[in-house]
Amino acid sequence: MTRWEQLGLEWRESGHPDAPVLVLGNALGCTWGMWDPQLDVLNSAYRVIRYNQRGHGESPVEPGPYTLAGLAEDVLALLDHLEVPRASFMGSSLGGMIGLWLGAHAGARIDGLTVCGTSAWLGQEQRELARAAIAREHGTNELVSPTIERWFTPYFREWHAETAVYAAMIASTDDEAYAWCEELIGSVDLRADLSAIAAPTLVVAGAEDPATPPEHSEAIVSGIGDNARLVVLPHAAHLANVEQAEAFNELLGLD
């Protein structure tokens, strides 16, 4: 049995079967549905592979604790399962951290990177540990309200009913898996790894993101060097691909 078969994570593909492969990595508390605003555009140019991380959607819970390397190796196991030697990767938040790890440590398999609302080092380990404790003691439903406040600006929350979809994603995430991911996020420090990323990298920040403010994205671009570029989207918080979907899609250059 292969590593991917052992994991049993949910995955699906769309787009053109003979096109270049793009893997999408989700934020903590999100299923692959977070990429729905991009899917039509991406399907026009890629063989798009989406998967749900451990304990998200219908994916089973792999016993923890988790490491960033372990979650990134889940992606490599998926590529091996599909017999895909190289792919591009687009990730948000925790998915962006996974993308940075892949670019630095599995660069021979990464053609290009897009990361959004992410950080190479949050420097907030105690905060993440506190959220992990809440997930374990009270369940992820207790984290829905403060998380939605970080993910979307007040205007978007007031005028866009689809925030309820994202609230449901958070609440449906397995409590232990969520906690293990929070602990992982608090320990991540990729600052020394960034210079090893050779793939062309687009780094996207929401101008009003309280979770990973634009200076975190600036640090990523500075650490990677000339093959990275930064775009800050106005009127967007943490999930900029959702809140400013049209502007985000334009950045992909696929229209």
* Whole-number pLDDT of residue 1: 83
Q: In terms of residue numbers, what domain contains 197? A: 3-120+190-251
Please state, in angstroms and rounded to a whole number, the distance separating the CA atoms of residues 73 and 6. Answer: 13
Answer whether residue 136 is part of any domain.
Answer: no
* Whole-number pLDDT of residue 255: 53
| Entry pTM | 0.97
Nearest Cα residue to 239 out of 64, 35, 11, 44: 35
The encoded tokens of residue 37 equal 């605003």
Answer whether residue 195 is part of any domain.
Answer: yes
Answer whether residue 157 is part of any domain.
Answer: no
Please state, in angstroms and rounded to a whole number, the distance separating the CA atoms of residues 137 and 148. Answer: 20
* Whole-number pLDDT of residue 254: 66
Helix axes 94-105, 68-82, angle to 10 degrees: 70
Answer whether residue 140 is part of any domain.
Answer: no
| Amino acid sitting at position 147 | T
Answer whether residue 154 is part of any domain.
Answer: no
pLDDT along the chain (255 residues), means of 10: 92 97 99 98 98 98 96 98 98 99 99 99 94 98 98 97 96 98 98 98 98 98 98 98 98 77
- Residue found under tokens 């078969």: 5
| Amino acid sitting at position 40 | D
Answer whether residue 97 is part of any domain.
Answer: yes
**Domain count across the chain:** 1
**CATH number of the domain bearing residue 65:** 3.40.50.1820
